[in-house]
Amino acid sequence: MTALTPCGDWRASYAADTTIFPTRNSRIALLVGLALLCCAPLVFGRYELSLLINIGFLGIAALGLNILVGFTGQISIGHAAFFGLGAFVSAYLHERYHVPVLLCIPIAGLVTAVIGLVFGAPAARLKGLYLAIATLAAQFILEDFFARAQWFTGGVAGRMTESPVLFGLAFDRDESYFYLTLAYVVVMFLGAANLMRSRDGRALVAVRDHYLSAEMMGINLAYYRTLSFGIASLYAGIGGALYAHYLLFVSVEAFNILFSIQFLGMVIIGGLGSVMGSLMGAAFMVMLPEVTQWGADLLAGSAIDRALKLGASISFLREMVVGAAIILFLIFEPDGLARRWRLIKAYWKLYPYSH
Amino acid sequence: MDTALLLQLTLNGLIVGALYGVVAMSFVLIYKASQVVNFAQGEFLLVGAWVCWWFLTEWQLPFYAGFLFTLVFMMLFGLVLQVVVLRPLIGEPVISVIMATIGLGIFFQALMKWIFGVFAKPFPPIFAMEQVRVLGLEVQTVYLASLGVSLLIMAGFGWFFKASKHGLAMRATAFDQQVAQSLGVSVPKVFAMSWAISAVVSAVAGVVVGVVNGVSSALSFYGIKVFPAVILGGLDSILGAVLGGVIVGLLENWAHYIDSQWLNWGNMFQIAPFYALVLILLIKPYGLFGTKNIERV
């Protein structure tokens, strides 16, 4: 294994083509990055940590959506509903059956995956725009179900839940919950990266690239489309469960269509079909409202602020910024942050002979 | 059985359904001409209604003048959107185009809330008579007027596509872009025109709903109710869109009736069309009048 990728394509063997870490440096970089992240609670305050935790569980769910949209080419406008399902299942299992919270999180992921498979089976017949509309309908139906199912979600009042506990050690502070989220992020992202190296992962990509050709090569379309829906729901469920036990309260109204659109925004801004891009997109989507807030705070008291009522309408401003970011990325950077990151890396690798 | 309520709801369904039909028609217009699925259709209604409200209350214009200015504004609005946002995305995958229109939807919904606030605001009264009696039922004048406006727009569309030069150019583009281009039709112009017309027609529907219920961000929900209507009718059929709209309008009111009489689940009014939508997609995804796509490798 070399330290840098040599010029030209030197992937001579099958193993070299499917490796996760193309160079020794990339593996070292990942380990160093993880070690640095582990030190984060020592350096950062509560606010920064809570942002990082948010990026973590949203990134997991966004990765699931990226497997569905970016790798399999199936559009879903109902991801937030599955995210919410995971949150409610986990909270419900803990309260009703007193399952330990640490166990609740993976179980919630599996239950959501099964429900995702049920929803995905009919969706396997649909694609493109028809699927987008069907999942839009699923979003509204599930949202309605959340509001209606008092026994499950607590209805309008929402559902309280508790922090995870491991051997008497409670993950009830941002510092400790950060490590839990980080562990899940590492496991889920490694899982996705490995899935894409496997036979099933390649089948998903083939379905995206040309579904008729894929079918002719013996790939079972219905099976892989359903499977992809199930995997996406698994990720959404785990992300949602992490969300539930972090906020300790799950409200019925949280999982609306706007949230679903934000997930799609993360995937598009991060880069369709890029595992790390999902995390970058989630980070971007989490930071965007914060940056908007900082901008508004900077202008507070000035003439612009008084004329536009920035302070009072900051929530609308945030929504507008999300919409604008999605449109601008689609027009100017359709391959997302992942491509920008590759360009930056290539620039520094070749510096100063970049041309 | 409450026959009077059923009749009243059926009438409501027809009137609201006609409005859905109008919005669905303008949705299909964009889809047919430029293959773009417009998730921001509801925001066209919203923007149109707010702009008209602004002309009427802040500027104190008489209704016909304010309405006319609104239509001109919406025409420019549709043109600018198409040229600035949608034109760079020609040839991009479906998901990009869908996401762009979703982004537009969020953007304008939030912008309208920012400018005009979150509360519903009523239009100044336009008709002298509040209610009239039709077949023994109390009907608001505005409802009747809205039914009239819907029918007028539908007739206008019929004429436009059958007889006018631009309408024929649009149909030619929808049929085959290359053939249309070779016959001298400017395809970019047709795309821009379809967006302009769609925005104007949606704005008319928005103003009508605004006059009836007051203007609020609830208007943008019409854009989502359009999906059951167009899928039912077939995505690329104007006639299907009208019929689908009426059926969805009737369906939600009847669902409301059944719910209020027997089930008492609540909220069936909002959700029933989406159950229908899922069913249609599973059984007959190309709708009643849509063309079936045949794909070849």
Give tens-digit pLDDT for A331-344: 888 888 888 888 88
Residue A177: exposure state from Cβ atoms within 10 A (0-12, 13-18, ≥19) = buried
Q: Indicate whether A53 belongs to any domain.
A: yes
Q: Indicate whether A177 belongs to any domain.
A: yes
Residue with tokens 């203007």: B215
Q: Indicate whether A10 belongs to any domain.
A: no
User: ipTM of this model?
Assistant: 0.85
CB B78 within 8 A of CB B204: no
- For the stretch A153-171, pLDDT in tens is 877 777 888 777 777 677 7
| B104 with A323: Cβ contact below 8 A | yes
What's the CATH code of the domain at A303? 1.10.3470
CB A125 within 8 A of CB B91: no
pLDDT recorded at residue B10: 87
Strand partners, B82: none
Paired tokens of B120: 């519903």
User: In this structure, how many other beta carbons lie within 10 angstroms of the beta carbon of residue A55?
Assistant: 23
CB A204 within 8 A of CB A67: yes
Residue B153: exposure state from Cβ atoms within 10 A (0-12, 13-18, ≥19) = buried
Task: Please give the Cα distance from B74 to B67 (Å, whole number).
Answer: 11
Task: Tell me which DSSP letter residue A354 carries.
Answer: -
DSSP code per residue over B148-190 = HHHHHHHHHHHHHHHH-HHHHHHHHHHH-HHHHHHTT--HHHH
Task: Please give the Cα distance from B245 to A52 (Å, whole number).
Answer: 46
CB A228 within 8 A of CB A71: yes
Q: Which helix (H) or strand (E) holds A218?
A: none
CB B31 within 8 A of CB B101: no
Paired tokens of B244: 């689908």
Coil, strand, or helix at residue A169? strand
Coil, strand, or helix at residue A167? coil
pLDDT recorded at residue A176: 83
- Contact status of A128 with chain B (Cβ, < 8 Å): yes
Per the document, the length of chain B is 297
- Contact status of B62 with chain A (Cβ, < 8 Å): no
Cα separation values, B101 from A328, B62, B127, B229, B268, Å:
12, 33, 36, 19, 28
Percent of chain A's residues with pLDDT above 90: 32
In sequence order, which ranges of A46-198 are alpha helices (DSSP H)?
46-66, 79-97, 101-123, 128-148, 150-153, 174-197
Residue of A139, A148, A212, A327 to mutate when probing chain B, most B C-beta within 10 A? A327
Percent of chain A's residues with pLDDT above 70: 95
Task: Tell me which DSSP letter residue A22 carries.
Answer: S
Q: Indicate whether A28 belongs to any domain.
A: no
Task: Please give the Cα distance from A58 to A246 (Å, whole number).
Answer: 12
Paired tokens of A340: 């920008």
Q: Indicate whether A11 belongs to any domain.
A: no
CB B232 within 8 A of CB B288: yes
Question: Please, what is the angle between helix B238-258 and helix B141-163, to 10°?
Answer: 160
Residue of A126, A133, A320 to mutate when probing chain B, most B C-beta within 10 A? A133
> What is the pTM assigned to this prediction?
0.88
Residues 186-205 of B with CB under 8 A from A: none
pLDDT recorded at residue B135: 66
Q: Which amino acid is at A90?
A: S
Determine the average pLDDT of the residues in A197-208. Answer: 91
Burial call A277-304: b when 16+ CB within 10 Å, e when fewer? bbbbbbbbbbebbeebeeebeeeeeeee
pLDDT recorded at residue A311: 66
Q: Indicate whether A35 belongs to any domain.
A: no
Residue B39 CA to its chain's centroid (Å)? 11
Which has more pLDDT, A285 or A14?
Answer: A285
pLDDT recorded at residue A8: 67
DSSP code per residue over B230-268 = HHHH-TT-HHHHHHHHHHHHHHHHHHHHHIIIII--S-H
pLDDT recorded at residue A147: 85
Specify the number of domains making up chain A: 1
How sure is the predictor about A12, in pLDDT bands with cuts at 50, 70 and 90? confident
Task: Please give the Cα distance from B149 to B143 (Å, whole number).
Answer: 10
Out of A128, A265, A327, whose CB is closest to B85? A327
Task: Please give the Cα distance from B192 to B57 (Å, whole number).
Answer: 31
Q: Indicate whether A331 belongs to any domain.
A: yes
Task: Tell me which DSSP letter residue A99 carries.
Answer: -
User: In this structure, how many other beta carbons lie within 10 angstroms of the beta carbon of residue B17?
Assistant: 27
Indicate the average pLDDT of chain A.
86
Answer yes or no: is pLDDT of A312 > 80: no
Those residues of chain B that have pLDDT short of 70 are 1, 127-131, 134-138, 266, 293-297
- As a dihedral over the C-alpha atoms of residue A30, residue A32, residue A34, residue A37, rounded to 10 degrees, the angle is -140
Q: Indicate whether A111 belongs to any domain.
A: yes
Q: Which residues of B touch A261 (CB under 8 A)?
A: 102, 106
Answer yes or no: is pLDDT of A62 > 90: yes
How sure is the predictor about A355, in pLDDT bands with cuts at 50, 70 and 90? low
CB B100 within 8 A of CB B85: yes
Domain containing A80 equals 40-350
> Which of A167-181, A264-278, B166-180: highest mean pLDDT?
A264-278
Task: Kindly identify which residue of chain A lies nearest to residue B86, measuring between CA atoms.
Answer: A331
| A320 with B111: Cβ contact below 8 A | yes
Half-sphere exposure of B123 (CA within 13 A, CB side): 27
- For the stretch B129-184, pLDDT in tens is 666 776 666 677 777 787 888 888 888 888 888 888 888 888 888 888 888 889 88
Residues 131-190 of A with CB under 8 A from B: 132-134, 136-138, 140-141, 144, 147-148
